[in-house]
Structure 1
């Protein structure tokens, strides 16, 4: 019985409590885990531009999968999280990435959380270029501001550093054009 339409939102504090809980369960089981988080969870925790996220887009390091699955089930139950709270679908778009450029976000005793650098995250947001209600446009706007990107050339350089330019389609070009307009630049 999937409750995918009923996924509760996780704000920054709840996300941090979840990671602390995960670390405690990992420690009890003498298990080390490295997790790389993407998307809304980063924008919620690092950039404070979203009040919350519905899931944690992530990739796990290789580990005891049965034990990890048990720990994730305990976490879901403890925090009353709906099915789909862990989203590993990010693996598919990561196949298009030319290079991963990760940095450490937080280290616990048994859990290490990594995140892509802002430039990689921006490139991924431009590639996705999903329409609302997805937050790709708002996220890209904030990342451009944060990275002080003021020209289309600078944005395309960042994009090309992480994703083949051949993947730029009409959707991405329109996304970039409107992003420039919203930022106050002419990126035609």
Structure 2
């Protein structure tokens, strides 16, 4: 059984409701928090293409983790979320980044939400290159269109500005080939 099988889907409105709730809890506890969101959360919140995500891929800034874990537990029970609703596994691929470029997504009184620039998100999607049911291919397709990428060279230039080209293996090469084909280009 997948860890996230029983996590309810989180659409844009539900995600924003959760962030507002967390902000109120932070305010009541006189805490400030910076949260960077990645993956499906970004695609759901920013792009109208993905209607929902199963979890929130994120990294927390410096905070009182003991107190914040209580806020996360309260959020989980308030919104009837399962234990897997917060996913910090994104920390592992972030270790490979040459640079990270974040931009402001939303600012509440006590919660600031950041997101990676679309180019960085695309590089991370290429690195992951997971097969379905992961949405990496669909997300990469959307990001290429959004960033007006028409050549493999442009794609690899973006990738190499965030991650070492040495990380592109057979899986990523096949992913890129089919991504180009799906976009209507020959990226052999």
Alpha-carbon distance in structure 1 between the residues aligned to 2:4 and 2:131: 20
Q: Within the alignment, does 1:109 sit opposite 2:115 as a pair?
A: no
Alpha-carbon distance in structure 1 between the residues aligned to 2:162 and 2:72: 31
- 1:173 Cα offset (Å): 0.4
- 1:119 Cα offset (Å): 0.0
Kept in 2, the 8 Å contact 1:3–1:82? The answer is no
TM-score by length of 1: 0.98
- Which structure 2 segments of 5+ residues have no match? none
Aligned residues: 187
Alpha-carbon distance in structure 2 between the residues aligned to 1:185 and 1:122: 17
Aligned Cα root-mean-square deviation (Å): 1.0
1:60 paired residue number = 60
List, as ranges, runs of 4+ consecutive aligned residues in structure 1 with deviation greater than 4 Å. Answer: none
- Which structure 1 segments of 5+ residues have no match? none
Within 5 A, what are the aligned runs for 1:68-83?
68-83=68-83
TM-score by length of 2: 0.98
- 1:48 Cα offset (Å): 1.5
- 1:4 Cα offset (Å): 3.7
- 1:9 Cα offset (Å): 0.5
Alpha-carbon distance in structure 2 between the residues aligned to 1:5 and 1:124: 24
